[in-house]
């Protein structure tokens, strides 16, 4: 018996994905996904369309969101699964997080203008599907278009990460708030792509401990951003902290994401999948 093909983290044009919510679902269905969560950044607006499309394709669907959180100077992402979009604590909290994005984007435009790249804010807006959700990814696509770097990935490396000219500091939600909102909405909280953070082992342990103390339930063991070694490392973390395990492509779009919807490795067999509690 093969395990179910669950993919519990991906993006649509409602945040920084390349496909509309219904097209994400259609692609997932084509790829053999059995259980899908759409988890747009700081936004719930794609869930109704995705759920309707999933019903049409006979695909089980979970409401999701990926909340941007500040942890000291770092940004950490917390996925909420099984959230009720009608929950006002969650909806209002996310609206407050989104409210900072446009001003941040304008400051990114100014920062890039200061090194001679003019019009980046307006250029990024051409790629935005939801005016409330301007992201670094939209800047990256525009900068790749004008040839500032070879591709989206190298645009990030050269311009959009901390220490590079287009990076501006920003304060997101607190970890406490993010878990409070997700739990108020009846959801399970999941630490997204733990292998991506620029944190030492000790600092990561502080995140895990705080997350557990706040009632956080799960961790992405298998992620589009993890290699095999990272998967094994975070499987050990799941065992040590008693976290449920998630499996997540973090798909953003064809040509941009190395792992397609449903294309991730299976979870290590001894772990308890987060979807057993959804």
> Binding residues for ligand AMP, per CB under 6 A?
16, 41, 68, 135-137, 152-153, 156, 161, 252
Within its chain, how far is the Cα of 248 from the centroid? 10
Closest to ligand AMP by CB, 82 vs 166, is: 166
- Of 43 and 217, which has the nearer Cβ to Mn ion? 43
3-state SS assignment for residue 77: strand
Q: Please state, in angstroms and rounded to a whole number, the distance separating the CA atoms of residues 100 and 103.
A: 6
Please count the residues of the chain: 278
CA dist., res. 61 & res. 82, Å (int) = 9
Q: Which is nearest to 34 in space by CA: 5, 65, 56, 69?
A: 5
Contact by Cβ (8 Å): 217, 211? no
Touching Mn ion, residues 77-116 (CB under 5 A): 77
What is the rounded CA–CA span in Å between residue 74 and residue 58? 39
Work out how close the CB of 55 gets to ligand AMP at its nearest, in angstroms, rounded to a whole number.
Answer: 27
**Rounded least distance, CB 28 to ligand AMP, Å:** 18
Write out the two tokens for 198. Answer: 């620029």
251 neighbors 11 (Cβ within 8 angstroms): yes
| 220 forms part of the interface with Mn ion (CB under 5 A) | no
Q: Which of 250, 253, 271, 273 binds Mn ion (CB under 5 A)?
A: 250
Residue closer to ligand AMP (CB basis): 126 or 240: 126
Does 16 sit near Mn ion (CB under 5 A)? Answer: yes
The CB-of-162 to ligand AMP minimum distance in angstroms stands at 10
Q: Return the one option of Mn ion, ligand AMP, none that residue 247 interacts with (CB less than 5 to 8 A, by type).
A: none
Residue sitting closest to Mn ion (CB): 77
Q: Which is nearer to ligand AMP, 34 or 177 (CB)?
A: 177
Least distance to ligand AMP from the beta carbon of 6, Å?
20
Distance CA 196, CA 126 (A): 28
Beta-strand relationship, 35-38 and 60-71: parallel
Nearer to ligand AMP, 84 or 122 (CB): 122
Q: How many binding residues for Mn ion (CB under 5 A)?
A: 5
Q: Tell me the C-alpha distance between 75 and 153, whole Å.
A: 18
C-beta of 16 vs 273, nearer to ligand AMP: 16
Q: What's the min distance (Å) between Cβ of 58 and Mn ion?
A: 25
- Of 110, 81, 12, 103, the residue nearest 53 (C-alpha): 12
Name the one range near Mn ion by CB under 5 A: 53-61, 96-104, 120-128, 245-253: 245-253
- Pick the closer one to ligand AMP by CB: 59 or 66: 66
Question: Does 256 sit near Mn ion (CB under 5 A)?
Answer: no
Q: Is 5 left (phi over 0), alpha (psi -120 to 50) or beta?
A: beta
Residue 156 binds: one of ligand AMP, Mn ion, none (C-beta under 5 to 8 A by kind): ligand AMP
- Residue 178 near residue 121 (C-beta atoms within 8 A): no
Can you give the binding site for Mn ion, defined by CB under 5 A? 16, 66, 77, 192, 250
């Amino acid at each position: 018996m093969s395990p179910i093909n669950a993919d519990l983290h991906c993006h649509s044009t409602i945040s920084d994905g390349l496909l509309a919510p219904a097209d994400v679902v259609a692609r997932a269905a084509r790829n053999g996904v059995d259980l899908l969560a759409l988890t747009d950044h700081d936004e719930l607006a794609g869930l109704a369309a995705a759920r309707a499309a999933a019903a049409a394709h006979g695909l089980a669907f979970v409401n999701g969101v990926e909340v941007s959180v500040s942890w000291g100077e770092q940004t950490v992402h917390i996925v909420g699964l099984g959230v009720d979009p009608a929950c006002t604590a969650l909806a209002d909290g996310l609206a407050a997080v989104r409210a900072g994005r446009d001003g941040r984007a304008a400051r990114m435009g100014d920062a890039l203008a200061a090194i001679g790249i003019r019009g980046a804010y307006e250029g990024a807006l051409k790629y935005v599907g939801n005016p409330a959700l301007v992201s670094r990814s939209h800047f990256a696509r525009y900068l790749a278009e004008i040839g500032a770097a070879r591709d989206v990935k190298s645009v990030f490396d050269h311009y959009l990460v901390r220490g590079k000219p287009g990076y501006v500091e920003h304060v997101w939600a607190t970890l406490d708030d993010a878990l409070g909102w997700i739990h108020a909405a009846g959801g399970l909280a999941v630490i997204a792509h733990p292998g991506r953070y620029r944190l030492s082992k000790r600092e990561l342990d502080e995140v895990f401990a705080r997350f557990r103390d706040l009632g956080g339930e799960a961790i992405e063991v298998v992620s589009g951003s993890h290699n095999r070694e990272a998967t094994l490392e975070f499987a050990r973390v799941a065992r040590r902290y008693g976290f449920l395990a998630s499996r997540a492509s973090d798909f953003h779009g064809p040509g941009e994401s190395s792992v397609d919807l449903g294309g991730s490795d299976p979870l290590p067999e001894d772990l308890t999948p987060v979807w057993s509690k959804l």
